[in-house]
C-alpha cells in the first residue's frame, strides 16, 4: 500500500457511528470553536454540492476562515458518498 492509499484509508469513515462517534469528536477537540457557514447549494441528478466557510477559533483564540465545498452523492434517500474539499492550511493553522 503506497502513502496515498494509507492517507485515504486513514480519512475514510464508513457509517453514521464512525463519523459521529469517531471523526467529529476528534476533529472538534482540536479547536475552541468550529462553525460551518453555508453560502450556496447546487443540486443536480443525485448530487448536492454545498459551498461555504469553516469559521474556526483556535484554543489560543486565534480566528481562521477556511473555504470548503462538500459534494454529497445520494442513493435510496441516503448519503452514499461524501467528498470534501477545503483549505487545509487554514485548518492546520488553527490547531495550536
List the domain boundaries for the chain. 1-30, 31-96
- Where is pLDDT greater, at 3 or 64? 64
| In contact, 33 and 60? CB cutoff 8 Å | no
What are the tens digits of pLDDT across the range 48-58?
999 999 999 98
Q: Quick one: what percent of the chain has pLDDT higher than 70?
A: 88
The pLDDT of residue 7: 44
Indicate whether this model's pTM tops 0.85: no
CATH class of the 31-96 domain in this structure: alpha beta
Amino acid at each position: 500500500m503506497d502513502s496515498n492509499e494509507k492517507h485515504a484509508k486513514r480519512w475514510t469513515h464508513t457509517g453514521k457511528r464512525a463519523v459521529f462517534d469517531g471523526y467529529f469528536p476528534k476533529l472538534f477537540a482540536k479547536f475552541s470553536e468550529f462553525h460551518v457557514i453555508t453560502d450556496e447549494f447546487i443540486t443536480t441528478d443525485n448530487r448536492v454540492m454545498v459551498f461555504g466557510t469553516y469559521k474556526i477559533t483556535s484554543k489560543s483564540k486565534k480566528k481562521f476562515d477556511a473555504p470548503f465545498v462538500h459534494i454529497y452523492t445520494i442513493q435510496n434517500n441516503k448519503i452514499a458518498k461524501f467528498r470534501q474539499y477545503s483549505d487545509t492550511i487554514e485548518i492546520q493553522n488553527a490547531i495550536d
